[in-house]
Copies of this chain bind each other. A is one copy, B any other.
Amino acid sequence: MSVSIQHEDFDAGAVMAELRATSNNVGAVVSFVGLVRDSSYDEKVENILVEHYPGMSENALNKIIAEAKTRWDLLAVKVIHRVGRLGPNDQIVLVATASSHRGHAFSSCEFIIDYLKTDAPFWKKEVTQQGGEWVVTKDSDVQRMERWNTGK
Protein backbone atom coordinates (compact mmCIF):
# COMPACT_ATOMS: atom_id res chain seq x y z
CA MET A 1 0.00 0.00 0.00
CA SER A 2 1.27 3.44 -0.95
CA VAL A 3 -0.48 5.22 1.90
CA SER A 4 -0.36 4.64 5.64
CA ILE A 5 -1.97 6.73 8.35
CA GLN A 6 -0.75 5.55 11.70
CA HIS A 7 -0.01 6.42 15.31
CA GLU A 8 3.35 4.62 15.33
CA ASP A 9 6.61 6.23 14.32
CA PHE A 10 8.16 5.23 10.97
CA ASP A 11 11.64 4.34 9.72
CA ALA A 12 12.44 6.56 6.72
CA GLY A 13 15.48 4.47 5.84
CA ALA A 14 13.41 1.28 5.72
CA VAL A 15 10.87 2.96 3.42
CA MET A 16 13.62 4.18 1.10
CA ALA A 17 15.09 0.66 1.03
CA GLU A 18 11.64 -0.70 0.16
CA LEU A 19 11.26 1.74 -2.75
CA ARG A 20 14.78 1.01 -3.94
CA ALA A 21 14.02 -2.73 -3.97
CA THR A 22 11.06 -2.37 -6.35
CA SER A 23 13.24 -2.45 -9.47
CA ASN A 24 16.84 -2.40 -10.68
CA ASN A 25 15.73 0.47 -12.86
CA VAL A 26 15.33 2.82 -9.90
CA GLY A 27 17.98 5.50 -10.29
CA ALA A 28 16.76 7.98 -7.68
CA VAL A 29 14.91 7.85 -4.39
CA VAL A 30 13.87 11.18 -2.90
CA SER A 31 12.30 11.45 0.53
CA PHE A 32 10.84 14.23 2.59
CA VAL A 33 10.29 13.96 6.34
CA GLY A 34 8.30 16.64 8.16
CA LEU A 35 9.03 17.12 11.85
CA VAL A 36 7.40 18.87 14.79
CA ARG A 37 9.23 22.16 15.38
CA ASP A 38 9.65 23.34 18.94
CA SER A 39 8.37 26.83 18.25
CA SER A 40 5.53 28.48 16.41
CA TYR A 41 5.42 32.26 16.00
CA ASP A 42 7.99 32.54 18.80
CA GLU A 43 5.96 30.48 21.24
CA LYS A 44 7.39 27.23 22.57
CA VAL A 45 5.39 24.25 21.32
CA GLU A 46 4.98 21.60 24.01
CA ASN A 47 3.26 19.08 21.77
CA ILE A 48 0.84 18.80 18.90
CA LEU A 49 -2.27 16.74 18.28
CA VAL A 50 -2.83 15.42 14.76
CA GLU A 51 -6.31 14.39 13.69
CA HIS A 52 -7.61 13.12 10.35
CA TYR A 53 -10.84 12.21 8.58
CA PRO A 54 -10.61 8.41 8.29
CA GLY A 55 -11.46 7.22 4.80
CA MET A 56 -11.28 10.64 3.18
CA SER A 57 -7.66 11.18 4.20
CA GLU A 58 -6.54 7.92 2.56
CA ASN A 59 -8.59 8.69 -0.55
CA ALA A 60 -7.21 12.21 -0.78
CA LEU A 61 -3.62 10.97 -0.55
CA ASN A 62 -4.24 8.26 -3.12
CA LYS A 63 -5.69 10.86 -5.49
CA ILE A 64 -2.65 13.09 -5.05
CA ILE A 65 -0.34 10.15 -5.74
CA ALA A 66 -2.37 9.18 -8.82
CA GLU A 67 -2.07 12.73 -10.14
CA ALA A 68 1.70 12.69 -9.51
CA LYS A 69 1.95 9.45 -11.50
CA THR A 70 0.27 11.07 -14.49
CA ARG A 71 2.79 13.94 -14.38
CA TRP A 72 6.03 12.03 -13.76
CA ASP A 73 7.51 8.58 -14.38
CA LEU A 74 7.36 6.99 -10.96
CA LEU A 75 8.35 3.46 -10.07
CA ALA A 76 7.17 3.62 -6.46
CA VAL A 77 5.66 6.05 -3.97
CA LYS A 78 5.05 5.90 -0.23
CA VAL A 79 3.26 8.39 2.00
CA ILE A 80 3.03 7.96 5.77
CA HIS A 81 1.18 10.44 7.98
CA ARG A 82 1.13 10.06 11.71
CA VAL A 83 -1.84 10.98 13.90
CA GLY A 84 -2.21 11.44 17.66
CA ARG A 85 -0.08 13.31 20.17
CA LEU A 86 3.46 14.21 19.00
CA GLY A 87 6.30 16.09 20.66
CA PRO A 88 9.05 18.41 19.41
CA ASN A 89 11.36 16.75 16.85
CA ASP A 90 8.93 13.87 16.33
CA GLN A 91 8.37 12.77 12.76
CA ILE A 92 4.94 13.73 11.39
CA VAL A 93 4.95 12.84 7.72
CA LEU A 94 7.03 11.01 5.13
CA VAL A 95 6.79 11.28 1.35
CA ALA A 96 9.16 9.08 -0.65
CA THR A 97 9.31 8.65 -4.43
CA ALA A 98 11.39 6.44 -6.72
CA SER A 99 12.08 6.99 -10.40
CA SER A 100 14.66 6.25 -13.05
CA HIS A 101 15.37 9.97 -13.21
CA ARG A 102 16.11 12.26 -10.29
CA GLY A 103 14.15 15.20 -11.70
CA HIS A 104 10.98 13.12 -11.64
CA ALA A 105 11.65 11.88 -8.11
CA PHE A 106 12.31 15.40 -6.79
CA SER A 107 9.35 17.10 -8.46
CA SER A 108 6.83 14.41 -7.56
CA CYS A 109 7.97 14.29 -3.93
CA GLU A 110 7.57 18.04 -3.54
CA PHE A 111 4.27 18.00 -5.46
CA ILE A 112 2.84 15.36 -3.14
CA ILE A 113 3.75 17.16 0.09
CA ASP A 114 2.54 20.49 -1.34
CA TYR A 115 -0.85 18.98 -2.21
CA LEU A 116 -1.04 17.03 1.04
CA LYS A 117 -0.88 20.38 2.86
CA THR A 118 -3.87 21.80 1.00
CA ASP A 119 -5.96 18.81 -0.12
CA ALA A 120 -5.74 16.09 2.52
CA PRO A 121 -8.01 16.29 5.58
CA PHE A 122 -5.58 16.40 8.50
CA TRP A 123 -5.63 18.86 11.37
CA LYS A 124 -2.93 19.93 13.77
CA LYS A 125 -3.48 21.50 17.15
CA GLU A 126 -0.43 23.13 18.69
CA VAL A 127 -0.23 23.19 22.45
CA THR A 128 1.83 26.00 23.97
CA GLN A 129 1.88 27.44 27.47
CA GLN A 130 -0.89 29.78 26.27
CA GLY A 131 -3.13 26.80 25.54
CA GLY A 132 -4.07 24.96 22.37
CA GLU A 133 -4.48 26.46 18.90
CA TRP A 134 -5.80 24.70 15.81
CA VAL A 135 -3.44 25.53 12.97
CA VAL A 136 -5.12 26.83 9.82
CA THR A 137 -4.04 26.30 6.24
CA LYS A 138 -1.09 28.59 5.54
CA ASP A 139 -1.28 31.04 2.66
CA SER A 140 2.30 30.10 1.78
CA ASP A 141 1.23 26.47 1.43
CA VAL A 142 -1.66 27.41 -0.84
CA GLN A 143 0.76 29.43 -2.97
CA ARG A 144 3.22 26.53 -3.15
CA MET A 145 0.44 24.23 -4.28
CA GLU A 146 -0.77 26.69 -6.90
CA ARG A 147 2.69 26.92 -8.49
CA TRP A 148 2.15 23.41 -9.87
CA ASN A 149 -0.73 24.62 -12.00
CA THR A 150 0.57 27.94 -13.19
CA GLY A 151 3.97 26.68 -14.27
CA LYS A 152 5.71 29.28 -12.09
Contacts and interface: CB of A to CB of B under 8 A. Distances in A.
Q: In which size bucket is the chain A interface?
A: 35 or more
Interface in A8-26: 11-14, 16-17, 20-21, 24-26
Given A13-B13, A13-B16, A30-B32, 8 more contacts: A11-B13, A12-B16, A24-B38, A24-B88, A26-B89, A27-B34, A34-B102, A106-B110
B35 A27 contact: yes
Contacts of A88: 24
A89 B23 CA distance: 8
A1 B28 CA distance: 24
A137 B85 CA distance: 48
Nearest to A91: B20
A54 B32 CA distance: 31
Contacts of A16: 12-13, 31, 33
Interface string A97-140: 00010110110011001000000000000000000000000000
B32 A20 contact: no
